[in-house]
Every structure is written in structure tokens, then in C-alpha cells.
Amino acid sequence: MGNGTTVLATEQINQVLNNIGDRKKSQGIIPKSLTLLSVLLIAAILAVILGNIFLGGIGVISWEFISQSPAHGLEEGGIFPAIFGTVALVFLMVIAVVPIGVLTAIYLHEYTRPDSMITRAIRISINNLAGVPSIVFGLFGLGFFISFVGGFLDSVFVIADDRPYWGQPAIIWASLTLALLTLPVVIVSTEEALRAIPRELREASYALGATKLQTILRIIIPQALPGILTGGILAVSRGAGEVAPILFTGAAYYLPYLPTQLNHQFMELGYHVYILATQAPDIDKTKPILYGTVLTLLVLTFLLNFTAIFIRSRMRSRRVAD
């Protein structure tokens, strides 16, 4: 009698557990289905956008389009000055933002206490900087870099013909403005890379007699280098497509020359797209050029990102091999 009761109770318990498991499975189907539907919807929208750009611009892409300058009111010719200006702008931006962002992240993570007032103030400033609209950065670049810094340099280094040399829109000011825009991205990604480094590596370095600076230079930075490059990749992705910050700081409607000095203005692919879409005399006639320019901008951005990703992967493989 006791054995039968025990078997019956066991079967009832198993049945209850199976019912609970089936109920949990049925409840989990809905969120999984919604998540999958969202992913498919986003992928479909992206495919439609990229497909539309590809179909509209592939017929325009040619060597002449890539290597020539715009002509006849932007209705003919190519986009080489815009390509050159975009690449130069991105490289100058990376040169400016990566060292400052990495040093800031190292200071926050290695030299300050998380609960100190200075650390909190810096983090609040970084968060606020990340939330500022890009057009505000353009106005800041116009007021600070061009009017204040450029005007000060012109007042110190007097030009013979009394024309502004630094106090005018230029590629250096546009790149510094974009560096400020992408600075939070580099800081956050570098800090995440620093947090991922095991504490045992630091302690082992200190145990061998290395100073804090030697540990950072020879242990911390090499280990965090892939994460630092990730921040650079994200900065390139955002900076290459921004238009608002360079509207007032250096981008030009059309230039018959390439920017060979830091105080020169430049053409840029994103700004060129804006001009073709809104300022062209005959928008229908320039529409194929517009699609070709957008496609070139996407390809150029992907190439810059893939180059950085390739360098990062090579560094990771070398670190694993060592």
C-alpha cells in the first residue's frame, strides 16, 4: 500500500514538473518569436536601403567618376576631391582623438578612485559630451577653434596681407571638431578593454619590480590594444558619415584643388551628398551622381573599417602566438 502510494505521488510530481516545463516553453516562444521578427525586420530594412543604393549607384561608378573632379555645376565629372578630403579628414581625426581618448581612459581606470569627485565629474562630462547633438559641435568648432584659437594664432603670427590664415574654416578645425564628437566612444571602449585585463597581470608585473608606468606601457596597453582599435573603428564609422560638425568648420561646396595644408578647406563625401540632394540646379539630372556618391561613401567607410579590423585581428593573433 505504501509503495503504491509512493509511486502514485512520484508520477503526480513528474506530471506537475512536466506541465511547468511545457508552460515555460510556451511562454518563452512569444519573446523569442518577437525578437526573431525584429531582427528579420531590421535586416530586411537594411537590405532594402543598401539594395536601393547599390542599384542606383552601380551604373555610375567608373574610373572617371572616381578620379575626376566635379564639373558643369556638379552635373558632370567625378568626386575625387571629396574622396581625398574624406580620407584626410578621417585620418586627422583619428590622430587627434585616439591618443587623448586612450590617455583619458588610462587615467580614469588606473590612476583615480571610482568613488572620487574628480572621477565622477569626468564621467559625467563624458556622458554629457556623448549626448550633445552633432550640430552643436559644429557651432562650437566655429566659435572656439576658428574664432578663438585661429584668431589668436593670426594675432600672434601676423600675416603680411592681413588676411586670416588660421582663423578661417579649414580641415584641421573640422578634424578636431570630429575628434571631440567621437571622443566618448574611444574613452568608453578603451575603459572596457582595460577592465577585461586580469588583475593578476598587474600584480605579477609589480611583483617583478616594475613601476606603474612600466606596467601600463609594457603590459596594460599591449593587452588592451585590440579594444583600443575597436574604439578607433567606431570613431571612424561615426566620423566618416557626419556632416553637421563640418558645415561651419571646413567643408566647401566646390574646390578646384586638393587640401594640401592644414588651413585649407576641403570637399567631403557626406557634405557633397547633402549639396547634390538640396543645392544642385537640376536634382533629377544629378540623381545618378548622388547615388554613386552615397555608394562610394559606404564602400569607403567599409574599407576603412575592414582595414582597422584586419589590423586588430592580426595583433590579436600575434598576442595569442606570443
For 72: left if phi > 0, alpha if psi spans -120 to 50, otherwise beta; the answer is: left
Examine the domain organization and report whether 289 and 142 are in the same domain. Answer: yes
pLDDT of 1 above 50: no
| Alpha carbon distance 239, 137 (integer Å) | 12
Residue range of the domain that includes 229: 65-321
User: Are 96 and 195 contained in the same domain?
Assistant: yes
What is the pLDDT averaged over residues 124-131?
A: 87
pTM of the model: 0.82
How many structural domains compose the chain?
2
Give 9-45 pLDDT, tens digit per residue: 555 555 655 655 555 555 567 777 888 888 999 999 9
Mean pLDDT of the chain: 83
Tell me the CATH number at 248: 1.10.3720.10
Residues 6+ apart with CB under 8 A from 175: 89, 92, 93, 96
Q: What percentage of the chain has pLDDT greater than the value 70? A: 88
Q: Is 145 in the same domain as 39? A: no
Last residue of a domain, one of 40, 57, 74: 57
**Residue at a domain's end among 57, 86, 104:** 57
Residues 164 and 268 in one domain: yes
Is 265 found in the same domain as 236? yes
Domain boundary among 57, 78, 99: 57
**215 and 72 co-located in one domain:** yes
Indicate whether 18 and 110 sit together in one domain: no
Residue 129 identity (one-letter amino acid) = L
Ramachandran assignment for 210, one of left (phi > 0), alpha (psi -120 to 50 degrees), beta (any other): beta
- In this structure, the answer to whether residues 119 and 258 fall within a common structural domain is yes
Per-residue model confidence (pLDDT) at position 130: 85
Cross-strand bridge partners of residue 71: 76
Whether residue 214 sits in one domain with residue 291: yes
pLDDT per residue as tens digits for the range 172-209: 999 999 999 999 999 988 988 888 888 888 888 888 88
Q: Do 129 and 3 reside in the same domain of the chain?
A: no
**Nine-digit cell string for 238:** 561615426
pLDDT in the model for residue 64: 87
Is the same domain home to 213 and 78? yes
Residue-wise pLDDT tens digits, 146-172: 999 988 888 887 666 677 888 899 999
Q: How many CA atoms lie within 13 Å of 224's alpha carbon, on the beta-carbon side? A: 32
Residues 10 and 35 in one domain: yes
pLDDT score for 236? 85
